[in-house]
Amino acid sequence: MADVYDKVMELAKRRGFVWPSSEIYGSVAGLIDYGPLGAMMKRKIENLWRDYYVAREGYFEIECPTVGEEAIYIASGHVKGFADKMVQCPHCKEYHRADHVCEAHNIEHAETKTLGELTEILRNLPCPACGKTFDGAEAHYFNLMFHTTIGPGSQRTGYLRPETAQGIFTDFGRLLRFYRDKLPFGTVQIGKSYRNEISPRQGMIRLREFTQAEAEIFVHPQHKEHPNFGRYADRVVPLRGIKQQENDEEPVAITIGEAVKSGIVANEYVGYYIALTHDFLIACGADPARIRFRQHLPDERAHYATDCWDAEVLSARFGWVEVVGIADRTDYDLKAHAAQSGDSFTAFIPYDEEKKVREMKIVADMGALGPKFKGKAKAVAELLAASKPTENGAEIVLDGEKILIPPELYKVREQETVIRGEEVRPHVIEPSYGIDRILYSVLEHAFDEEDVDGETRTVLRISKKIAPVQVAVLPLMSRDGLDTVALELMAEIQDEGLIAQYDDSGAIGRRYRRQDEIGTPFAVTVDYDTKEDNTVTLRERDSMKQIRIPKDHLAETLRQLIRGKVAFENL
């Protein structure tokens, strides 16, 4: 069954987009190599992403290690949440959560038991699937994080990061200062993340090492209005909300402004990035008819997220594939890191107007309290501050003992305190992109075969913004000086910062086909007229149309074509 997937992967392998990793030693499932064209294309997708998030949104990029110490992932919940105690039934081979099986048989606190204890208990318990006992089976941990040790002596436990986000969260304090203590601000990271999948299949869709591009945008919890919401408010996006999924309906095409106003999308930030993602995926060359946004159902949503949408792209082989997740993660992560680290993970937000609060303050006379209460003096002073004194003195309870502190041991002052603002723990809006999946989706959507004069023409109609090779330079004949002129042009084009490929092998038609197959958007051909009038042929991949342009303008024209500043048909 040669479906599009087979054809795309065959082409990807043959032409140097994607290869199985360490193929000569047998490869490892879930690990891939990007070949020369794949690596170039991936870099261009990442750079296009930077255009959107770094250049246009103003979110600076940081780079954190892929290896992180244990504390990070204890705080994030990955050490616990990503590790289940599993047991496999020796009879029917079914997998079960070891603690769940125990708890179903009234074993209390099974979750906290060790693997040995669980194995011991399970020995006499029946498998929920087949009814036979687990005798002979051993409970084992199952954590999807790659584990390692940092430094000699295996002293420190480390993990390969399962997402790039945690690096941004742990740098929160530094980032807040970098952005001069103001909300909102955003930070992005593009890099590798790791998940030790049990059974990674589906080619490039499910990898053990994959590239994420994530933005973490820190916003005031009460102000989730995006400052540039107007830019995307009128953009129509296919949304498949909870309602459509429950009624098994098609996505609704609706403006993002309307979606936010009607409450389908939780807030402007989430809506804004849904629209931006729509824009970005189409700019990469994904087919608009095969993109939709699906809202997470309440029961699949992570417990901390208030709203979460996946950008899904339709694949002929895999169905709708999640390529981007856009979540409002609330303050879950910052709260978790605050608890683990002791730092506050808050921003000080000044009020528009200072608040003045009049209050009674009870100030202890430490000179008198000290000798009287000795080591307990400090505790007494603190209790005094919170007490409500009467004329006879203030009654406090110290270690269960009621003590009356006479008025001469403290002073009561009425005092005005100025409150200039408050500490606010931001909420996090997180658009998270799976670059590998996007690259595959674009390849699949761009793959096209058409019949030209009885021959099959294979052409990758990828966006000229992410095509690995941008221009092919072809001498019609590799003689009569045509090759010399072509090589000169080649150098000029490369000087312009474009990626060009020179090809003088075989008939001209064959060379066009070669370039079509790797998605090169433009080809320049030097022919005999070039020597007469200094013009060259410029051919466009998608239409196969050709025009002649003066070779002096070539490099500049190409640059404008590729940046989308001018259209081929207007030349």
Q: Kindly list the residues in this chain that would bind RNA in the complex (CB under 7 A).
A: 10, 13-14, 20, 26-30, 76-78, 81-82, 84, 88, 93-95, 144, 162-163, 197-203, 302, 317, 452-453, 455-458, 476-479, 505-510, 512-514, 516-517, 525-528, 536-537, 539, 544-546
CB of 465 to RNA, least distance (A): 22
* Bridge partner residues of 307 (DSSP): 328
Is 439 within 8 Å of 47 (Cβ atoms)?
no
CB of 152 to RNA, least distance (A): 28
Minimum Å distance from CB 35 to RNA?
A: 11
Give the nearest distance from C-beta 24 to RNA in angstroms.
8
Nearer to RNA, 259 or 538 (CB): 538
User: Which of 10-19's residues contact partners 24+ apart within 8 Å by CB, and which partners?
Assistant: 11/447, 11/458, 11/460, 11/517, 12/38, 12/443, 15/517, 15/518, 17/41, 17/443, 17/468, 18/204
Angle 105-108-114 (CA atoms, 0-180°, nearest 5)? 100
Please check whether residue 325 is in contact with residue 214, taking contact to mean a CB–CB distance below 8 angstroms: no
CA distances from 516 to 19, 343, 380, 462, 548 (A): 20, 56, 83, 10, 20
Q: Min. distance of Cβ 418 from RNA in angstroms?
A: 43
Q: CB of residue 515 vs RNA: minimum separation in angstroms?
A: 9
State which residue, 347 or 474, has the beta carbon closest to RNA: 474
Q: How far is the CB of 112 from RNA (least distance, A)?
A: 19
| The pair of three-digit structure tokens given for residue 450, joined into one six-digit string | 């058409």
DSSP code for 534:
S
Q: By C-beta, is 202 or 346 nearer to RNA?
A: 202
Nearer to RNA, 138 or 258 (CB): 138
Closer residue to RNA, CB minimum distance, 446 or 536: 536
Q: Which is nearer to RNA, 411 or 510 (CB)?
A: 510
Q: How far apart are CA 27 and CA 180, in angstroms?
A: 48
Q: Closest approach of Cβ 420 to RNA, in Å?
A: 38
- Closest by Cα among 17, 13, 8, 10 to 40: 17
Tokens of 436: 């590998």
Residue closer to RNA, measured from CB, 361 or 510: 510
Q: What are phi and psi of 318, to 5 degrees?
A: -105, 0
Q: How far is CA 100 from CA 97, 113, 122, 132, 419, in A?
A: 5, 12, 11, 17, 51
Q: Which is nearer to RNA, 266 or 305 (CB)?
A: 305
